[in-house]
Amino acid sequence: MAIQIKIPDWREREDSIEKVIEHHPDVPIFTILKTDLHRRGYVLSAAARAKIDVNIHHTNGIHLTGESDSTTVEGLVLRDGTLVCNGCVSDDEVVLRDPYLIDVDENDRIVITDQGRIYEEAEFWRKPDYYDKVTSKGTPMWKVANVRGKRIDSELNKYCEFWDTPGDGCKYCGIGVYGVQEKKCGHQLRVDPDDLAETLQEALKQKGRFLQFNATQGSLLGGAKLLDDELELCLDSLVRIKKLFSRFPLKASLVTTALDGQQLERLRDEGGIGIYTANIEVLNKELFQWICPGKARHIGYDGWKGRLEEAVSIFGKGNVYTDIIGGLELATPHGFKTEDEALESVLKEADLLSQKGIQVVDFVWRVYQNTIFKNQVSPSLDYYVRLSQGISALHDAYGLNNYSRDYARSGNQPSGDLDRIRRRSELGKIG
């Protein structure tokens, strides 16, 4: 089957990437191109696929949205080290806009192209040494922990219990839909804590490869009080890792539903967590209630922000993050009518959080066809560039360094790539 394009005339409706680059001369082409690769996705030509070496390249991967196989690559690296994550479009996918084509040029280089024009060179991600090994229980280690740049990721639980109540799932979220399918099929939904500890032990034999360990999972609402089950799931894995290593071997980061102060203190004291994330997803109270109804019903927009502020008192300024899915604020029919209005509102809310020492980081919204929002349209490339500029400027204004989501540890947040430029400038001044 061929890829289906839902907006065939989008090139006439939107500014080209060339115009966006021209309008933003202070933003690196690498950052703009990476943003558009996330927005539009990419496909591999036959020549590019022939370049994949399963002995070298990072192919197989496991994610909250499903498994990838050896016929494609997990991501791209641009010449400045910028990571492009999970953007490959399958042959039968429905997408909004034409994806980029990853091809091979006359000099045998892997290149990013569109309509015959070459924009940049790229490399395929290289897999870590542990990927071809199995745990003592026989689990392939690549299924236990994935890798993104210099960060090890593990998805501890693939099911989100907001989806237990009809209408409570986040409307943009393909992860939740995938978790529901996996549960119906009776598939394994959780990572075995012993497998995880063993995989980390093996991964760290590759000296200098990793800087951070990051864990995430779907929301678990039960327990003596709301989210205690989720807390215990996290602590089970984290405590076993700590016992194995006597101390946590890497800077540890955790993504959860917004926990309360007592729960967060246990994460810090028992789990060894130093960086904490609770993703609010959309920075507008009314839109939050519409788009994330389960989160709104159980915790609420103001409650979520309050828990983020409480987390700062526990983990410290700059060690608490919240992700936003850029563009959700323009979803119809309840979203903002213009990109200018949306940008002004989002950055105002982000400013209020940043003042409290909370790092807001931006994702590029990819409209997946398995979601409730499958008929929505993500905004223009220019909007995303302006959003990432605004978020990065807030990091600068409030002294938030964003080391956990920079180009080497992540790849989804364009503002993290812009933050790197600011840090280089600061180092230059020091020198």
Q: Which of 120-124, 212-216, 251-255 has the highest mean pLDDT?
A: 120-124
DSSP, collapsed to helix, strand or coil, labels residue 289 as helix
Q: Are 92 and 160 found together in one domain?
A: no
Q: Are 32 and 59 found together in one domain?
A: yes
pLDDT at residue 425, rounded to an integer: 47
- Mean pLDDT (the chain) is 91
Residue with tokens 């995430």: 216
Q: Are 104 and 188 found together in one domain?
A: no
Cα–Cα distances (Å) from 40 to 8, 188, 254, 292, 319, in that order, read: 13, 31, 29, 24, 31
Q: Are 165 and 233 found together in one domain?
A: yes
CATH number at residue 174: 3.20.20.70
Task: Give the mean pLDDT of 184-197.
Answer: 92
> What residues pair up with 94 in beta bridges, in sequence order?
4
Taking only the tens place, the pLDDT of each residue in 373-413 is: 999 999 999 999 999 999 999 999 999 988 777 777 777 78
Q: Are 304 and 249 found together in one domain?
A: yes
- Element (DSSP H or E) covering residue 428: helix 414-430
Lowest mean pLDDT among 215-229, 245-259, 325-339, 351-365: 245-259
Q: What is the 3-state secondary structure (H, E, C) of 126-141?
A: ECCHHHHCECCCCCEH
Lowest mean pLDDT among 179-193, 217-231, 299-313, 336-350: 179-193
Please state whether beta strands 123-124 and 75-77 pair in parallel, antiparallel, or not at all (unpaired).
antiparallel
Cα gap 150→247, rounded to integer Å? 20
Q: Are 97 and 238 found together in one domain?
A: no
Please state whether beta strands 100-104 and 110-114 pair in parallel, antiparallel, or not at all (unpaired).
antiparallel
Taking only the tens place, the pLDDT of each residue in 58-117 is: 987 654 455 555 568 889 999 988 899 878 888 778 999 999 999 999 999 999 999 999
Burial of 101 (0-12, 13-18, 19+ CB in 10 A): middle
Q: Are 362 and 235 found together in one domain?
A: yes
The token pair at 209 is: 């490869």
Considering only CA atoms, which of 142, 147, 139 is closest in space to residue 131? 142
Q: Are 112 and 177 found together in one domain?
A: no
Task: Give the mean pLDDT of 350-379.
Answer: 95
Q: Which domain holds residue 249?
A: 140-430
Task: Give the mean pLDDT of 273-284.
Answer: 96
Ordered DSSP codes for 55-110: TTB---EEETTEEE-TTS-SEEE-TTS-EEES-BPPTT-EESSPPEEEEE-TTS-E
Find the angle CA(88)-CA(388)-CA(147) to the nearest 5 degrees.
40
Cα gap 322→319, rounded to integer Å? 10
pLDDT at residue 428, rounded to an integer: 41
Q: Are 345 and 234 found together in one domain?
A: yes
Higher pLDDT, 240 or 265: 265
131 band by pLDDT with thresholds 50, 70 and 90? very high
Residue with tokens 């076993």: 240
Higher pLDDT, 356 or 428: 356
| Whether pLDDT at 351 is above 90 | yes
pLDDT at residue 427, rounded to an integer: 39
Total domain count, the chain? 2
Inside any domain, residue 129: no
Task: Give the mean pLDDT of 182-195.
Answer: 90
Instruction: Classify each residue of 202-232 as buried b or exposed e, where b means 16 or more C-beta atoms within 10 Å of its C-beta.
Output: bbbeeeebbbbbbbbbbbbbeeeebbbbbbe
- Element (DSSP H or E) covering residue 339: helix 339-355
294 band by pLDDT with thresholds 50, 70 and 90? very high
205 band by pLDDT with thresholds 50, 70 and 90? very high
Q: Are 240 and 175 found together in one domain?
A: yes
pLDDT at residue 426, rounded to an integer: 46
Lowest mean pLDDT among 29-43, 242-256, 331-345, 350-364: 242-256
Inside any domain, residue 22: no
Inside any domain, residue 134: no
Task: Give the mean pLDDT of 130-139.
Answer: 96
